[in-house]
């Protein structure tokens, strides 16, 4: 029965403030962004100047492109200075449900205020460029007319700036929300892994202490002392690996050897262990304590249920980009519904941890062998511990 998980990690939605991520980034100082803004607004200024020059050639061939630039470029540069103001007002007075009437009134008033220096600038640069229709007209006379003439253009520029500001802010909030969600998912995954990993300790310790009590009742003092010494060594190794979700395969095998020493003391000559470990796999990263539950399962179902001897095989090999680990036994095999009958704590723990660490990039199967016994097979992405250290 093969189990290849395809369920993604739980998705949590939480405000960015949960992780201390600010929902709004502080704007850059004006001195830092003003040159860029002036460069951006120079583009429509040059385009408008080119249009004015081409149109003027039909009436006055002496109308120069420099004169057109003088008329069109400064008014567009004015909006480079006005842009931070508009964006600030857009952030402060948002056109959102429930508050948009007041915000709209503020923006209309702001547009009117910004238009006064805008059309004043147009008036003076046009006079400086020699526009005859302004030569004999005062600013007071022309201001209302020019406000009316340029209100549509100003409204479009103002509205576009507000819309761009909202779009940038919504995009930033979306990215910050993604980051916050990703961090929450990572923290949740690590917490679940810690719980699953911690679950192995009392489960394994209970089984080992139960075996020691059997030896004590049999008055096997030497065996009891050996098992207690092995348990203390295992606990020491467990404490040394606290907080590490993945370890090199050789470390997991070292832990497994201590466990097998205890089990061989318990079963004496009845337990045989065959190892076929490819040396190239010893530096590969594997989930810590991943083999012990599988070996415990093999001993439980392959040896403890019968009076005779039994064999457990450990295989480790590399197949391309995959690390293949196998634990085999020669017992009677798995009975139908075995997981429901005995709970399958170790196997369920292995499945859950593999899903958290590798999602759909792993394969875990537990099935009866045709020649008798059970095969537990793991296929994981091959990643060396040295490569991870260099990446860190």
Residue in 109, 42, 51 with CA at minimum distance from that of residue 79: 42
Residues 29 and 168 reside in one and the same domain: yes
**Which band of pLDDT confidence, cut at 50, 70 and 90, is reported for residue 246?**
confident
- Residue 118 Cα distances to 60, 109, 154, 157, angstroms: 27, 14, 9, 12
Three-state DSSP state, 17: helix
Alpha-carbon distance of 378 to 325, in angstroms, equals 5
Check whether 299 has a pLDDT greater than 90: no
The answer to whether position 9 is within a domain reads no
Q: Which pLDDT value is given to residue 314?
A: 96
Sign of the alpha-carbon dihedral angle for 177, 180, 183, 187:
negative
Check whether 5 has a pLDDT greater than 70: no
Q: Which pLDDT value is given to residue 388?
A: 58
Residues 273 and 376 reside in one and the same domain: yes
Alpha-carbon distance of 137 to 123, in angstroms, equals 10
Residues 266 and 163 reside in one and the same domain: no
Please, what is the average pLDDT of the chain? 79
The answer to whether position 347 is within a domain reads yes
Q: Are 146 and 123 in contact (CB under 8 A)?
A: yes
Q: Which pLDDT value is given to residue 265?
A: 77
pLDDT digits (tens, 9 = 90+) for 226-238: 778 877 777 776 6
pLDDT digits (tens, 9 = 90+) for 41-81: 889 889 988 888 888 888 888 888 888 888 889 999 999 89
Check whether 97 has a pLDDT greater than 90: no
The answer to whether position 384 is within a domain reads yes
**Cβ neighbours around 236 below 10 Å, total:** 11
Question: Which residue among 182, 201, 225 closes a domain?
Answer: 182
pLDDT digits (tens, 9 = 90+) for 271-286: 899 999 999 999 999 9
Residues 274 and 157 reside in one and the same domain: no
Residues 145 and 293 reside in one and the same domain: no
User: Rounded to 10 degrees, what is the CA torsion of 316, 318, 321, 324?
Assistant: -30
Check whether 4 has a pLDDT greater than 70: no
User: What's the average model confidence in pLDDT over 300-326?
Assistant: 88
Q: Which pLDDT value is given to residue 19?
A: 36
363 against 265, higher pLDDT: 363
The answer to whether position 110 is within a domain reads yes
Residues 38 and 160 reside in one and the same domain: yes
Question: Which residue among 133, 152, 182 closes a domain?
Answer: 182
In which domain, by residue range, is 108 found?
16-182
Residues 312 and 167 reside in one and the same domain: no
Q: Which pLDDT value is given to residue 201?
A: 52
Residues 27 and 175 reside in one and the same domain: yes
386 against 272, higher pLDDT: 272
Alpha-carbon distance of 10 to 181, in angstroms, equals 10
The answer to whether position 47 is within a domain reads yes
């Amino acid at each position: 029965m093969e189990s290849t998980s395809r369920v993604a990690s739980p998705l949590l939605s939480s405000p960015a403030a949960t992780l201390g991520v600010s929902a709004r980034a502080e704007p850059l100082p004006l001195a830092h962004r003003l040159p860029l803004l002036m460069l951006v607004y120079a583009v429509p200024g040059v385009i408008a100047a080119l249009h004015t020059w081409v149109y003027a050639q039909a009436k006055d061939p002496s109308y120069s492109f420099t004169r057109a630039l003088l008329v069109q470029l400064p008014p567009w540069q004015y909006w480079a200075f006005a842009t931070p103001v508009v964006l600030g007002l857009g952030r402060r007075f948002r056109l959102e449900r429930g508050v948009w009437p007041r915000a709209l009134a503020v923006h209309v008033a702001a547009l009117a205020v910004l238009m006064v220096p805008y059309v004043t600038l147009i008036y003076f640069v046009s006079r400086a460029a020699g526009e005859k229709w302004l030569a004999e007209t005062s600013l007071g006379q022309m201001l209302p007319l020019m406000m009316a003439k340029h209100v549509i253009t100003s409204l479009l520029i103002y509205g576009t700036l507000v819309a761009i500001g909202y779009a940038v802010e919504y995009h930033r909030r979306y990215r910050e929300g993604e980051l916050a969600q990703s961090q929450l998912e990572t923290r949740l995954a690590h917490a679940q892994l810690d719980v699953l990993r911690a679950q192995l300790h009392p489960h394994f310790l209970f089984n080992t202490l139960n075996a020691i009590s059997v030896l004590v009742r049999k008055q096997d003092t030497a065996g009891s002392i050996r098992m207690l010494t092995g348990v203390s060594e295992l606990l020491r190794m467990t404490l040394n690996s606290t907080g590490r979700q993945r370890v090199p395969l050789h470390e997991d095998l070292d832990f497994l050897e201590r466990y097998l020493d205890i089990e061989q003391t318990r079963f004496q000559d009845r337990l045989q262990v065959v190892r076929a470990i490819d040396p190239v796999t010893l530096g590969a990263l594997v989930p810590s304590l991943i083999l012990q539950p599988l070996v415990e399962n093999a001993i439980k179902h392959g040896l403890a249920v019968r009076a005779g001897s039994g064999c457990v095989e450990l295989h480790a090999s590399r197949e391309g980009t995959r690390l293949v680990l196998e634990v085999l036994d020669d017992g009677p095999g798995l009975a139908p519904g075995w997981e429901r009958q005995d709970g399958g704590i170790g196997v369920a723990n292995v499945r859950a941890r593999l899903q958290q660490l590798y999602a759909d990039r792993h394969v875990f199967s537990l099935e009866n062998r045709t020649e008798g016994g059970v095969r537990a097979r793991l296929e994981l992405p091959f990643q060396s511990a040295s490569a991870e250290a260099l990446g860190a």
